[in-house]
Amino acid sequence: MMGMRAHFAGTLLAAAAMAAGASAVQAQSREVVIGAIVPSSGPFAEWGRTNTVTLKMLEKQVNDAGGVNGAKLRIAIYDDAARPAQAANSLRKLVGDDKALAVAGPLTSSACEVTFPVANQLKIVATSQASSKPGVAKANRPWAFRNTVDEGILAKVSVPYFKKNFNVESVALIYDAKDAVSTAISTRIMPAVMTANGVKVLNEKDPLSFNTGDLDVSAQVTKLKSLNPDGVVIGADYSQAVTVIREMKRQGLVKPVIGGTPLISSAILKAAPEIPLIAPATFYATMKGARAERFVAELQPLLRKESGLPPEIEPSMYDANIYEIVSMYIDAVKTAGVSGKPEDLEADRTKLRDHVAKLKGFEGLGGPIGFNADGDAIKAFYIVQGQNGAWETKVRGCSSANGGGC
């Protein structure tokens, strides 16, 4: 009798071990798929390429640490070339072909305006790493989010600093007419905030413009110079703004420049080091803090090795943002009851959406992160000044009116 009991117990233990082993194998064979849409080609290719290296680094970090609840993390990355229609098609592929749980991206506001409605239709979370044109996520609730701060909020802090620090009484506007957020910054946001702060906008009714990719802006800068402003507002991403700043230097228009978050890059500081630049950022490569410094120390060697970009390239704010986005998604899988099973995909996407919408105090690289009712990030931001080759924090702000979560 005792022998039978021992045999029965042994059989149970063996069965349990086999079940555990099978479960472990099943977990290892499972994948948690997160999608990403980045512009690895086209006018914003630098940001897209560094985003890609960042995501591959995160994927390796997670899988080296055991994966997500025992399942392997796979980040499926699509290049949208900063084309809105291509971004929307990429989202459809991530939903239908890759069975992604959620999507990081797209990067530009122009792409988000086309892609976020598709995310709502297909019921999948899409969180942009860079879009900051006012209202883009708000118009596409409840599935659209942005790990960024509205440029209108940022300008209310950057403009007073710009005015006071450089004794600015007048400004002139120049912007990239093909880019949605650049157009919003120069034709809507900055004129209103400048006027509210007593700064005269010399060409508000006739702002100077150029198009993405233009290499000659000499005529526009000649007109800019003729206005004799105390400061210049440039609505453009850094790669396009570099052309304007170099031409300003060539024509002797050495006046302080202010813009939005798209100006943030180490590369722009080399265009004309004597021209001071003011811009807002939620992250920049030389900022202080253990998390930020560790992120830069791990990512920067990989960027120089794998991105195919110049050796002086540094992690950008958008690398930090997309790293945080996918980290939030992973946190949701671990804490929100997301099963990761194919048959639960629709329900899992909803659980993840609800988790992100209610998120408070998630530890980002620059401080705690949450989201407001419009789908925009509640996080700290910094007004930084770039001059003589380096960015330096001048003012710290918070995207929440009461500072909550920052």
Chain segment 85-105, per-residue pLDDT in tens: 999 999 999 999 999 999 999
* pLDDT of amino acid 404: 64
At residue 390, the 3 state secondary structure works out as: strand
Q: In degrees rounded to 5, what are phi and psi of residue 255?
A: -125, 150
Beta strand 277-281 with 257-258: parallel, antiparallel or unpaired?
A: parallel
* pLDDT of amino acid 37: 98
* pLDDT of amino acid 191: 97
Chain segment 343-385, per-residue pLDDT in tens: 999 999 999 999 999 998 899 998 899 999 999 999 999 999 9
Per-residue pLDDT, averaged over 102-123, amounts to: 97
Chain segment 252-261, per-residue pLDDT in tens: 999 999 999 9
Q: Which of 121-130, 231-240, 262-271 has the highest mean pLDDT?
A: 121-130
Q: In degrees rounded to 5, what are phi and psi of residue 132?
A: -140, 10
Q: Where in the chain is the domain with CATH 3.40.50.2300?
A: 31-148+288-375, 152-281+387-398
Q: Do residues 331 and 376 make contact, with C-beta atoms less than 8 angstroms apart?
A: no
The model carries a pTM of 0.85
What residues does 200 pair with on adjacent strands?
170
Query: The tokens 């390239």 sit on which residue?
Result: 313
CATH topology of domain 152-281+387-398: Rossmann fold (3.40.50)
Chain segment 301-336, per-residue pLDDT in tens: 999 888 677 777 889 899 999 999 999 999 999 999
Q: What percent of the chain has pLDDT over 70?
A: 91
Query: For residue 124, what are its two tokens?
Result: 């999948």
* pLDDT of amino acid 14: 46
CATH architecture, domain defined by 31-148+288-375: 3-Layer(aba) Sandwich (3.40)
CA–CA separation, 220 vs 174, rounded Å?
8
pLDDT averaged over every residue in the chain: 90
Q: Is the pLDDT of residue 66 over 50?
A: yes
* pLDDT of amino acid 22: 38
From 9, 90, 5, select the one nearest 48 (Cα to Cα): 90
* pLDDT of amino acid 179: 87
Chain segment 272-282, per-residue pLDDT in tens: 899 999 999 99
Per-residue pLDDT, averaged over 243-255, amounts to: 96
Distances (CA, A) of 161 to 157, 288, 365: 7, 21, 25
Query: Which residues contact residue 255 at a Cβ distance below 8 angstroms, ignoring those fewer than 6 apart?
Result: 229, 230, 231, 232, 248, 275
